[in-house]
Amino acid sequence: MKRVLVVDDSMFWRELVGNAAKEAGGEVFYASDGLEGYNMAFEVEPDLIFTDIEMPKMKGYTLCRLLKNEEAFRNVGIVIMTSLGETLTRFWATTAGADGFMQKGGNPDKLIKDVKSYMKKDFRFARLGISRRSQPKYEEVTYLLENIILRETIKNEVYALYNYLSDEEHIFWKLADLVYQIVPTDYVVIMALDPQEGRLFVSTKSEKVDAEKLREKLFSIFSRPVVPFEWKIIGDGVGGKEVPELLPFIFRDRTGREQGILATDKSLGKSDKELISDIVANLGDLFKLTMSFASAVKQARYDELTGLLNFRALMDKLTEYFSIARRSFNPLSVGMIDIDDFKRVNDTYGHLTGNEVLRELARLMKDSFREVDVVGRYGGEEFLVAMANTTLDSAAAALERFRKKVEEYDWSKIHRGLKITVSIGAASTVNSKRYRTVLELIEDADSALYKAKSAGKNRVEKAA
């Protein structure tokens, strides 16, 4: 026999619903307000609950949410009785986990039929040995409400990060801030997977960690991971020699695919683990979108082969630097870099080797120039670097250091017998010529490059 609890402040509706449940073979209990219904639910352990929404002391959807938060009530049927036009309250009841709805104020025969229909469904109270209650437990209701509000707040904090899809580092740092605020941990580590580029973010309040060893350790936890082509390591917690014992939480996208890991101190207690689980439950789709956005931006702005700025993005940035230089009267210098005899490299060693040379030269450029310098692929085997607030002589010195690094580099690692040199032309806005456009500045750098080629290659020449 099903136990049925009817919760309504109207005696008419309590009796109408209760009598219908009795006719269907139920043992029926009654409560006249939400708080009484909450406590009686623990007392009578019903299999099915019919509750109104608008009641004194506690609304029906609050009652529903509180009970569904208890494991014993997960499979109990909770049916919300709504009046005509209660669309908003119906929405809240749905989010609270209601199993069904019945409409009051219409045809009573229809409502009775609905009650009997719900009586036939397989709703069951899970008798787990919970304690019975004989009086209202206000402090327990308050605790449950606060717990629900906290979880909703955590979810909203994560959802707010969707506003920053264009700045993934900001997302990592804001997540770390959130974790530090809600649980006692000295480490926040986030690994996010993407076929092109994986991310490892490490934040620590104590000792720094060995990022490479940590990456290998966390990556081994996945069952069927996406294997990134390359990795980006972010955060202030890298540079150490040890790997701490961490507690990993895997997060997935809505298709169930493993998207990443959030890891904290292993010593977290049960309630702290539950809070981290609430964060992790909402991370999969966030990082899937974040990395898809980053990939789209990268394809639009970066050269696919070398990873440097492509021609369009390079010119946009160079034009911006040129405008700033004209307004501030500070020097802007550019270097046009060309690989010597690159056609011979392709003809002798093949285009695959040629592509490896382009990729390795791009890596050397990234390592050789300042972060504020703009480095990009101008086209083919030509590259361009722009140096703000840099005189022509200082730029030529930096370019000469790069030229020497290329000449002395062990290119045989790519192919036996391979040697690579570059010729470079440099120009600056601070000279006897006044440049009207950035293209005029580039033309002078290109002319200086031609001069370097004509003078025997593997050298740096400055524009007159």
262 within 8 A of 282, measured Cβ to Cβ: no
Residue 303: inside a domain: no
DSSP-based three-state secondary structure for 207: coil
What are the helix (H) ranges across 85-124? 87-96, 108-119
Q: Which of 245, 274, 298 is the last residue in one of the domains? A: 298
What CATH number is attached to the domain comprising 431?
A: 3.30.70.270
Task: Let me know whether 283 and 402 are in one domain.
Answer: no
Query: Mean pLDDT across the stretch 318-337?
Result: 92
Task: Let me know whether 255 and 319 are in one domain.
Answer: no
Task: Let me know whether 315 and 288 are in one domain.
Answer: no
Residue 243: inside a domain: yes
Task: Let me know whether 331 and 451 are in one domain.
Answer: yes
What are the helix (H) ranges across 77-191? 87-96, 108-119, 138-160, 168-182
Domain count, the chain: 3
| Overall size of the chain counted in residues | 464
- Tokens 């069904």, residue? 100
Residue 217's pLDDT band (boundaries 50, 70, 90)? very high
Q: Which of 98, 133, 168 is the last residue in one of the domains? A: 133
Q: Which of 265, 298, 331 is the last residue in one of the domains? A: 298
Task: Let me know whether 12 and 119 are in one domain.
Answer: yes
Which one-letter amino acid corresponds to residue 431? N
Residue 212 belongs to what domain range?
150-298
Task: Let me know whether 97 and 194 are in one domain.
Answer: no
Task: For helices 342-349 and 351-368, give the axis angle rounded to 10 degrees.
Answer: 140
**Bridge partners of residue 8, in order along the sequence:** none
Task: Let me know whether 232 and 279 are in one domain.
Answer: yes
Mean model confidence pLDDT for the chain: 89
Sign of CA pseudo-dihedral 209, 210, 213, 218: positive
Residue 91: inside a domain: yes
Residue 306: inside a domain: no
Residue 144: inside a domain: no
Q: Kindly tell me if the per-residue pLDDT of 103 is higher than 60.
A: yes
Residue 209: inside a domain: yes
The pTM of the full predicted model, rounded to 2 decimals, is 0.53
Residue 136's pLDDT band (boundaries 50, 70, 90)? very low
Task: Let me know whether 453 and 321 are in one domain.
Answer: yes
Task: Let me know whether 425 and 369 are in one domain.
Answer: yes
Residue 91's pLDDT band (boundaries 50, 70, 90)? low
Q: What number of other Cβ atoms are within 10 A of residue 288's Cβ?
A: 21
Residue 145: inside a domain: no
Q: What number of other Cβ atoms are within 10 A of residue 10's Cβ?
A: 15
Task: Let me know whether 434 and 321 are in one domain.
Answer: yes
Task: Let me know whether 287 and 354 are in one domain.
Answer: no
400-421 pLDDT tens trace: 999 999 999 999 999 999 999 9
Write the CB contacts of 64 (distance below 8 Å, at least 6 apart in sequence): 51, 78, 80, 93, 96, 97, 98
Residue 114: inside a domain: yes
Q: What number of other Cβ atoms are within 10 A of residue 224's Cβ?
A: 6
Q: Which of 43-57, 79-93, 177-191 has the lowest mean pLDDT?
A: 79-93
Q: Which of 274, 279, 236 is nearest to 261 (CA)?
A: 279
What CATH number is attached to the domain comprising 161?
A: 3.30.450.40
417-455 pLDDT tens trace: 999 999 999 999 986 567 889 999 999 999 999 999 999
**Looking at residue 345, what is its pLDDT?**
94
What CATH number is attached to the domain comprising 55?
A: 3.40.50.2300
**Looking at residue 71, what is its pLDDT?**
82
Q: Kindly tell me if the per-residue pLDDT of 105 is higher than 80.
A: no
Q: Kindly tell me if the per-residue pLDDT of 323 is higher than 70.
A: yes
Task: Let me know whether 230 and 317 are in one domain.
Answer: no
Q: Kindly tell me if the per-residue pLDDT of 134 is higher than 50.
A: no
Half-sphere exposure of 198 (CA within 13 A, CB side): 21
